[in-house]
Structure 1
Amino acid sequence: MTHEDPALNYKTVCKMLNIGKTTFYELINKGEFPKAFRVGPRGIRVPLSDIQTFMEKSRRQMSED
C-alpha cells in the first residue's frame, strides 16, 4: 500500500459498496479483501485497490449472468 493506495475504514467501504457492517466483515473473512489490516484494537482498514478489485470482479460477474 502506498500514498496512492489509501486505506479506508469500514464506514467508507460500506458506503462505497452499499453494504452493511456485517457484510463488510463477511467479505473480509471470505478473503475478498486480502490486504485488510487492523489499526489499533478495534479498527480495520482496507486498501482502496482491494475495493476497486472487488467492484470490478462484481461487475464482471453481473454482466456474465
Structure 2
Amino acid sequence: MFTSSSESHLHFRKSSYSSARGQDCVEVADAPGVSAVRDTQNREAGHLAFPSTEWAALLRTSAR
C-alpha cells in the first residue's frame, strides 16, 4: 500500500463497479504496468497497487 503522498501522479476515477447511490465507492487509477485502487470515503488511507495483469484478471473473473 502506498501513502497519499505517492498519489500525486495518479488520476483516480470512480470505478464502474461502484454503487450508483454513491456508497461503497471505489476509485481506480491506471499507471504504466500498475492499477491502483482506493476507497472513496477513506482517500487519506492511501491505495493498493496491483500489477495491471492481475487487475485485469480480477475484472475478467468478476464479470462472469
Higher RCO (C-alpha 8 Å, min separation 6): 1
| Superposed pair shares fold, TM > 0.5 | no
Larger helix proportion of the pair:
1
- The answer to which structure has the higher strand fraction is 2
Normalized against structure 2, the TM-score is what? 0.28
Give TM-score, length-normalised by structure 1.
0.28
